[in-house]
Chains A and B, each alone.
Chain A
């Protein structure tokens, strides 16, 4: 029975051997041998249990998400049993296998593999987002450093920020006369706000202590920027970048639907015109996965530069 008690304790995975022992220790002398046995069993059980625990932890981490996805596919399957326009999971899977067997084919400007379409969209996001970073981050620094500038710009930013970036698409078309830069322009517009706002916020939130250090050490403006301002603002900046890239990836699909050409958004629209609904579903998954990867990469970078946890 004692054995069972200790086993329970260790088996639960909440305590280590040291916690298991005192449960056994206060027993009277007659049971000493039993107790010793219990300890040894508990110890060995614990060692064996460590591998088991690890497996359990893995199961606990992996099982629920897998169940969730299985549930989604199950519901999807049930919903498509009676036919209708939506293709079943099986049919979609078959289409995906065909699609991904040659993602980089090229047959004319309007018929290219899904790989090209994704890359094209990523390129637009990259360019629009890159220019937004080049403009937005320095602008954020200026706004954070000079209160007058912030007061000047705040009404403008507050007014423009809630506007859907797609509303800027016609302006882009008008100015650039071509669809491609107009889509990039839309990305630029939607990416720039989070970058300006977060960078500016980071600058205004720099602890006074750090600035006092700069003053007492009499650091040069360059040193203040590289050793204090920039590292202090970096986490905020990365948050801005993460938010912008998220929005940019949302917006590019819609923008490309409107502008055409090559790109995942356009591809979705094209497949709708071809009535290949299973391809649209595949595109939804692809867009989601790419977005997830972008987010994770930026989270990784952010963690690398967060000085508290490094």
Chain B
């Protein structure tokens, strides 16, 4: 098997709140291997995003060990790029400048300006936004903003791409479109990806493994499903694929039978 990029060992996360300690996550064990795509799925509030933020280094675990390339994750780093749910582009910068900000940070020590600009162009080309380079975020659609977010993350050439419900705020058609493109990009760049989602189809379609989290508080990994569908995957063909249906059913069963939330 390929190399482990991220190791999560016995990790737990508690928050201090006004009502006392709140345990969000406990006993999380997960190894993430190079080149694989993983989805974190669970009911809202189960701590999916908390786990992603831990990998990103935005928060530190209260217990356990988190390693990236065998080194402890002490904070955010360019090798772990994050695509935020609400795109988080800086509204006063053009799409180009938003991406350039990331490129500059990672590569300016070693490369000249021309090369940095070229990298920025390449990243935007990868997500098909060359024509919108000089537009401001408020001038483009939600789907395009999310593409810029993805371009910004990819431009840093991260070891692992962390996505927090990246398509959650988009309409179904745009979402399907972006999912297809993301699959192509992942195949082309052989990037490793961890994605938080609450969409069962999205999880099966995009992932090699689906991590199912139990309900919070004190959520942990309930089940791990391997999706052994051939790549490249085609959403139309998969609609009638029995294996796709089985994976889907397994996740649905977990979410709606074993982890049914009584009060939504």
Contacts and interface: CB of A to CB of B under 8 A. Distances in A.
Q: Which of B58, B88, B156 has the most CB of A within 10 A?
A: B88
Contact of A218 (B78, B86, B88, B93): B78
B168 interface: no
A303 interface: no
Interface residues of A, number: 18
Given A307-B91, A307-B138, A217 B84 contact: no
Contacts of A310: 136
Contact of B78 (A212, A217, A227): A217
Contacts of B6: none
A223 B136 contact: no
A219 B105 contact: yes
A216 B92 CA distance: 19
Contacts of A209: 84, 86, 88
A28 interface: no
A308 interface: yes
B45 interface: no
Judged by DSSP, the binding face of B is loop
Interface string A220-258: 100100011001100000000000000000000000000
A307 B56 CA distance: 29
A218 B92 CA distance: 19
A220 B80 CA distance: 17
Contact of A217 (B75, B91, B102): B102
A215 interface: yes
A235 to B, nearest CB: 10
Contact of B136 (A217, A232, A307): A307
Contacts, number: 49
A227 B90 contact: yes
B113 to A, nearest CB: 16
Contacts of A231: 90, 92
B128 interface: no
Contacts of A27: none
A210 interface: yes
A267 to B, nearest CB: 43
A289 interface: no
B151 interface: no
B205 interface: no
Nearest to B78: A218
Contacts of A210: 88, 90
A213 interface: yes
Interface string B64-103: 0000000000011110111010101011110000000110
B105 A223 contact: yes
A213 B105 contact: no
A210 B77 CA distance: 16
A223 B101 CA distance: 9
A219 B75 CA distance: 13
A308 B91 contact: yes
A225 to B, nearest CB: 13
Most buried by B among A209, A213, A219, A220: A213
A232 B91 CA distance: 9
- Of B77, B78, B101, the most chain A CB neighbours within 10 A belong to B101
A308 B138 contact: yes
Contact of B88 (A212, A219, A220, A308): A212
A130 B77 CA distance: 41
B84 A227 contact: no
Contacts of A213: 84, 88, 90
Most buried by B among A210, A215, A228: A215
Nearest to B104: A223
Given A231-B92, A307-B136, A310-B136, A216 B58 contact: yes
Nearest to B139: A310
A216 B90 contact: no
A210 B105 CA distance: 16
A200 B91 CA distance: 20
Nearest to B77: A218
B58 to A, nearest CB: 6
Contacts of B101: 217, 219, 223, 227
Interface of B: 56, 58, 75-78, 80-82, 84, 86, 88, 90-93, 101-102, 105, 136, 138, 156
Interface of A: 209-210, 212-213, 215-220, 223, 227-228, 231-232, 307-308, 310
10 contacts: A209-B84, A210-B90, A215-B75, A216-B58, A216-B80, A217-B101, A217-B102, A218-B76, A227-B93, A232-B92
